[in-house]
Amino acid sequence: MSGPAPTLPTPSAEEVEDLLLSCRYGDLPDVRAFVEEYGAAAAAGARDDRGSTVLHMCAANGHADVLAYLLPLLPAELLTTPNNSRSLPLHWAALNRHLSILTLLVSDPRPGVDGAHMIALPNGAGMSALAVAEEEGWEEGASWLAGRVELGAAEEGEGGVREGVTQEGVEEEDVGGEAETKTGGKGEEMDVDVVVDGVGAGGAPRGK
């Protein structure tokens, strides 16, 4: 007869901050190490001073490998958990033109995840992820999101409701240790890496 599962240690505030930075910069080994030591629940509960989650950090910076690792470990509700500015990870992915991130977030196959519903959720400025992509002039992303909304409507019209479904600005960019503020016109800040010639400071390409 096996005994009770061992109690995982609680990460310090500094360790939580380090996790968020690892997600921001795409440091998958450090993210794995945190989860292995403290558990997925600790990663799910991590927030920065703006209420942004590990998913926000991955989404803003286009780190699809980190996101793909974290998604199966974290509760599906985190996909639609907003930060203090009411933005979802999906809003940040749309603002920064990361198609690979949009695909991972919207196509999450778990029960309870409704991609079309997620796309329609407004941020604090009343804008959906589709509206953000359109305002940014990102035609590819806007077209992809619109297609997912249409697909969701068609599935519902055919009685194909998915099982279990119940339902802005940008932050600091680090340049050689200096912080630069980039705004998206909506007053929100998000932590993003600098992109040089289409490649992020962490080596991750921008979504195409």
- The pair of structure tokens assigned to 24 is 């921001």
At residue 6 the predicted structure's pLDDT band, cuts being 50, 70 and 90, is confident
Mean model confidence pLDDT for the chain: 81
CA distance 13 to 11: 7
In the chain, which ranges are E strands? 172-175, 178-181, 195-196, 199-200
**Which is higher by pLDDT, 181 or 113?**
113
Looking at residue 197, what is its pLDDT?
A: 32
Q: How far is CA 183 from CA 13, 62, 135, 189, 203, in A?
A: 27, 18, 14, 7, 23
Q: Per-residue pLDDT for 46 more than 50?
A: yes
Q: Per-residue pLDDT for 166 more than 80?
A: no
Looking at residue 181, what is its pLDDT?
A: 35
Greatest mean pLDDT among 1-5, 17-21, 150-154, 155-159:
17-21
Question: Quick one: what percent of the chain has pLDDT higher than 90?
Answer: 68
CA distance 82 to 185: 19
CA distance 98 to 65: 13
Prediction pTM value: 0.77
With a CB cutoff of 8 Å and minimum separation 6, the contacts of 188 are: 50, 85, 87, 123, 124, 125, 168, 169, 170
13-192 CATH, one of 1.10.260.40, 3.20.20.150, 1.25.40.20, 3.30.379.10:
1.25.40.20
**Which residue in this structure is represented by tokens 């960019």?**
173
The helix/strand/coil state of 38 is: helix
Q: Is the separation of the CB atoms in 46 and 15 below 8 Å?
A: no
At residue 89 the predicted structure's pLDDT band, cuts being 50, 70 and 90, is very high
Q: Which amino acid is at 62?
A: G
Looking at residue 52, what is its pLDDT?
A: 98
Task: Give me the mean pLDDT over the 56-63 stretch.
Answer: 98
